[in-house]
């Protein structure tokens, strides 16, 4: 929780974590005013109490303690910690100064398989815009929809230069279809939480998302995350996804990545351009880059190419982001021509796609 705290000179309390002991539980809360995380651990409570202490200091100190019982004693605004041969006192601030974390009155809830949700997030978060000129693009568009047979969560992110989309099946279905925009920082924190508990024997198999009109609450085992939602309308990205293609190529993901990395060493600084040339006759892809000061490179890799020969120039960084995000051994690269979006999908699955815009010569 310590990394969530902000260094706010006007509100130093935001650098602290709130510890509250009552009813056989120790509750920990942290917030940066945009989102908040709460969690609890079981313990023996002799006397109820609460205090706040610096979050990073607490994390750094506790991570050094042996695997023994930890005793906490509040002394006014300070906290005494003893564990085995270790003893310390941490100065804190009054709990009354800690911001109130509002409760959310949810109007709709959805249950998702935790591992599939975490994997889906890893396939879209990198494509979120970092520039806040268009605030809605700094978040992930999450669409909950119901078909005749199953419920689905479709997540999409774009920065106008590339687009990533991933789908997650919802076994419990979707009772209330909806679309929301969740800040990328919130989903990155959520993904981190799911990753921390991934290898735990008793970690829950599902995560529950609760939504009100402008807030989100994520519940996962002993952890609860609260965040605001982004306002605005997400662009209708579906209209830029090509429906027909002139060239389709089936490639080994590892070979493709290696060829792009080799050519990227000779791409132009600031442009990061590599040219992809598909040859159905020879059954190969050529990845080429040329820089006047460093030289040039051409890397070939085998490809099962259908359709016509084609060439396109793309930003290698965006291309590698999409290729590295897939866990598939083979990918499909589909394109119309050098002026239209290129589509990358896993060969065997239809649960994700990645679009990279070409660099127009």
Tens of pLDDT, residue by residue over 135-159, are: 999 999 999 999 888 899 999 999 9
Region 110-128 average pLDDT: 96
Asked if residue 94 lies in contact with residue 67, where contact means CB atoms within 8 angstroms, the answer is no
Dist CA 65 CA 111 (whole Å) = 36
pTM of the prediction? 0.91
The owner of tokens 């929809």 is 145
pLDDT class of 348 with cuts at 50, 70, 90: confident
3-state secondary structure of 221: coil
Using pLDDT thresholds of 50, 70 and 90, give the confidence band for residue 11: confident
What pairs with residue 38 in β-bridges? 29, 224
* pLDDT tens for each residue of 172-208: 889 899 999 999 999 999 999 999 888 777 889 999 9
Q: Is residue 20 pLDDT above 80, yes or no?
A: yes
Domain definitions of the chain by residue range = 2-97, 108-228, 241-356
Task: Answer yes or no: is pLDDT of 255 > 90.
Answer: yes
Q: Which CATH superfamily is domain 241-356 in?
A: DNA Polymerase III, subunit A, domain 2 (3.10.150.10)
Structure tokens belonging to residue 200:
């735990």
State the pLDDT confidence band at 3, using cuts at 50, 70 and 90.
low
Average pLDDT, rounded, for the chain: 93
Token reading at 360: 């127009």
Q: Same fold for the domain at 108-228 and the one at 241-356? A: yes
How far is Cα 181 from Cα 99, in angstroms, rounded to an integer?
25
Q: Which CATH superfamily is domain 2-97 in?
A: DNA Polymerase III, subunit A, domain 2 (3.10.150.10)
- Mean pLDDT value of segment 74-84: 93
Residue 315 has pLDDT above 90, yes or no: yes
C-alpha separations of 110 from 73, 113, 151, 278 in Å: 40, 10, 10, 43
- 164-181 b/e with 16+ CB inside 10 Å = b? bbbbbebeeebeeeeebb
108-228, what's its fold?
Answer: DNA Polymerase III; Chain A, domain 2 (3.10.150)
């Amino acid at each position: 929780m310590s990394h969530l705290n902000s260094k706010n000179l006007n509100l130093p309390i935001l650098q602290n974590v709130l510890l509250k002991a009552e009813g056989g539980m120790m509750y920990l809360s942290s917030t940066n005013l945009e989102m908040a995380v709460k969690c609890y651990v079981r313990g023996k409570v002799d006397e109820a109490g609460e205090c706040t202490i610096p979050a990073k200091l607490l994390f750094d100190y506790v991570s050094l303690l042996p695997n023994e019982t930890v005793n906490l004693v509040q002394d006014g605004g300070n906290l005494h910690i003893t564990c085995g041969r270790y003893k310390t006192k941490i100065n804190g601030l009054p709990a009354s100064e800690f911001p109130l974390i509002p409760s959310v009155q949810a109007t709709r809830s959805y249950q998702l398989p935790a591992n599939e949700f975490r994997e889906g997030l890893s396939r879209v978060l990198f494509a979120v815009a970092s520039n806040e000129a268009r605030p809605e693009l700094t978040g992930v568009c999450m669409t909950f929809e119901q078909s005749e047979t199953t419920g689905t969560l479709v997540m999409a992110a774009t920065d106008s230069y590339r687009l990533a989309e991933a789908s997650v099946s919802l076994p419990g279905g979707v009772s209330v279809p909806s679309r929301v925009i969740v800040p990328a920082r919130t989903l990155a924190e959520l993904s981190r939480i799911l990753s921390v508990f991934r290898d735990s024997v008793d970690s829950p198999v599902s995560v529950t998302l609760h939504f009100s009109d402008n807030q989100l609450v994520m519940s996962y085992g002993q952890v609860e995350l609260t965040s605001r939602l982004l306002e605005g309308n997400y662009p209708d990205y579906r209209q830029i996804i090509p429906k027909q293609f002139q060239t389709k190529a089936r490639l080994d993901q590892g070979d493709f990545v290696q060829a792009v990395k080799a050519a990227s060493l000779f791409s132009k600084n600031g442009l990061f351009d590599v040219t992809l040339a598909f040859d159905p006759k020879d059954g190969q892809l050529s990845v080429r880059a040329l820089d006047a000061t460093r030289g040039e490179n051409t890397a070939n890799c085998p490809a099962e190419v259908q359709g016509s020969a084609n060439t396109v120039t793309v930003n290698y960084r965006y291309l590698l982001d999409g290729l590295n995000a897939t866990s598939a051994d083979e990918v499909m690269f589909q394109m119309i021509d050098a002026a239209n979006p290129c589509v990358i999908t896993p060969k065997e699955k239809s649960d994700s796609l990645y679009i990279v815009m070409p660099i127009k010569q």
